[in-house]
Amino acid sequence: MNPTHIAPLARILLIASIALTGCGAASPSASGPVASAAPLDGNAYEVTLAFPGEAPVQDTLRFQAGRFESTACTAVGFPQWSDYHAQVDAGAVAFAAVTRSADGTTMDWKGTVTGQAVEGTATRSLSGRIATASVRGARR
């Protein structure tokens, strides 16, 4: 290749890589999707958790910057925010999140938001015992 063509070619490649990165193309060191693209961000839902054989628990599920919070879980020592994943399909948004407390208890959340309503499940794993609650509520 002619040496006078190397500098323009390098410049074109540099500009192309900057343009791709700025348009959201992932680089090998990218850590995942852009949090602001999460479809439930900015929403909160007042829900009732109903575990079999237990009194219902009032909770608020919050979604912000690609993160999920159950205020009932936060109140008993879970970290405030955990990552969530969501997918829009035919006007509904399916979401999933797993929250883990320092003592090893986990809550595996799965739900669907349709319009103003949310429903789903929260599966709790506590000291080797697993229980699944129904989750129902509405946007606040």
Report the CATH number that the domain containing residue 40 is assigned in CATH.
2.40.128
3-state secondary structure 46-72: EEEEECCCCCCEEEEEEEECCEEEEHH
> Are residue 44 and residue 20 in the same domain, yes or no?
no
> Are residue 81 and residue 62 in the same domain, yes or no?
yes
Distance from chain centroid for Cα 69: 9
Amino acid at 22: G
> Are residue 121 and residue 80 in the same domain, yes or no?
yes
Domain count, the chain: 2
133, burial (CB in 10 Å: exposed 0-12, middle 13-18, buried 19+): buried
Per mean pLDDT, which range of 16-25, 36-45, 102-111, 112-121 is the poorest?
16-25
> Are residue 66 and residue 8 in the same domain, yes or no?
no
> Residue 108: pLDDT band by 50, 70, 90 thresholds?
very high
Share of the chain above pLDDT 70, in %: 74
> Are residue 21 and residue 39 in the same domain, yes or no?
no
> Are residue 70 and residue 40 in the same domain, yes or no?
yes
Q: How far is CA 37 from CA 5, 67, 81, in A?
A: 40, 11, 17
Q: Are 50 and 134 in contact (CB under 8 A)?
A: yes
The parent domain of residue 6 ranges over: 1-31
> Are residue 72 and residue 92 in the same domain, yes or no?
yes
Q: What is the mean pLDDT of residues 106-125?
A: 98
Per-residue pLDDT, 92: 94
